[in-house]
Structure 1
Amino acid sequence: MKLDDNAELRTSNIARLKQIATSLNPAMHPLPRTPAEWLNEIADAYADAYEALPFMRSQGMEPDESLLFHMAPRVALKFRGLPEQQAEAATEAALCSYVASKEQVGVALDDPHIAFAFCYLAAQFGLGLASDEAINEIMAFIEEGDAILARAITRRTRAKEPSRRQRRIRSAQGV
């Protein structure tokens, strides 16, 4: 076997290991390439965070969508299949960017969907997965999209809500 054969074998093995790692971690999403792909991933991430709303009561808080942006860095880690050790970098980038931008953009970040999208993208920046230019392009796409993010999120969160029948059954069971 020649040296070139070993290099080809190593390359083949690396590709196979990446394939196996992805199959072992189904939460790992491929990095979106276009603003439209990012919008869809953000809507999926929001729906994932939305599932935690009922658990806010167990923490002594009323369920409030306006607080979901705090979860964006954790969902970013989950969707990228990254370890918890990177949570601090993602959270710091997201929340510091949010606080710094809140004064500049004002009411735009009062929209829970926009706030979540912004923090989700800032977390990707903090993880070294997205550039500042890419984030600006994606946010411009979302903001100019005539509420397209809100519609995408609504479709996904409605799909996760229990039906009337399921709510009645849970209520009867005291759940």
Structure 2
Amino acid sequence: MAELRARLRQATSPLHDQVDAAFSEFSLEQPDDYRRFLRAHSRVLSAAEIALERAGFAALLDDWPMRVRRHALYADLVEMDCPLPTALSLPLSDFASCWGVAYVLEGSRLGGRVLARRIRQANPTAPVRYLEHGDVARLWPAFLTRLEQDAASCAWEPMLAAAERTFVLFAEAAALEHDCEYG
């Protein structure tokens, strides 16, 4: 049942590891690093969600409105008096590539609750709407079911290329924010 998920996970594992390494350099207990972390995520998440909406992906995933996180992320950044960054570019050519991008986005929410707890221990008033967004216990399994049912007939190459591109964008966004200074 989880054949497509396993293929995507195996094929993107090296890039996933690179992204994890890039984001582990942010000390989320430090407000400036947390801002940079959120800004890096915003650069990719905003571009990806908007691109998915423009491609009509919401018609394939009927619970899309519950999955959209960019507004929670924007609210966290605004609360931290942090300017919204420019979104990176993520063009989508077909539904196969939409599934690849969505796979990365949905997977990215899995560690959010753990990170939110860590941040709240250091700063109980830190905004964590983005990291706590959605019912992960329901959204992730529901997404995987839809991925296996609806994306299995899609072309593999564009799906994989889009997933890889999304991971690369997350790594690039982290690198952009590592060097930023905010007051």
Q: Structures share a fold, TM > 0.5?
A: no
Relative to total residues, which structure has the larger helix share, 1 or 2?
A: 1
Query: TM-score under structure 1 normalisation?
Result: 0.28
Which structure would you say has the larger Rg? 1
Higher RCO (C-alpha 8 Å, min separation 6): 2
